[in-house]
Amino acid sequence: MEKELMDRIKKIADLLGQSSYTVVLTGAGVSTESGVPDFRSPGSGLWTMIDPELFTIQGFKANPKAFYEGGAPFVKMLDEAEPNESHTVLAELEKRGLVKAIITQNVDGLHQKGGSKQVLEIHGTLSSASCMHCGKQVSIEEVAADIEEGLIPPLCIDCGEPLKPDVVLFGEPLSPDYRQALEEANRADLIMVIGSSMQVSPANQIPALCDKLVIINRMATFYDNQAEVVINESASMVMRLLKDELDRQVQ
Vertex 120 angle, CA 119 and 125, to 5°: 95
CB neighbour list of residue 237: distance below 8 Å, 6 or more residues apart: 85
> Is the CB of residue 238 less than 8 Å from the CB of residue 231?
yes
Which one from 87, 111, 123, 133 is the annotated catalytic residue? 123
3 burial via Cβ count (<10 Å: 0-12, 13-18, 19+): exposed
**133 catalytic, yes or no?**
no
Distances from the Cα of 194 to the Cα of 32, 82, 202, 211, angstroms: 12, 18, 17, 17
Rounded Cα gap, residues 200 and 67, in angstroms: 22
Backbone angles phi, psi at 30, to 5 degrees: -75, -30
- Is 24 within 8 Å of 192 (Cβ atoms)? yes
Active site residues: 123
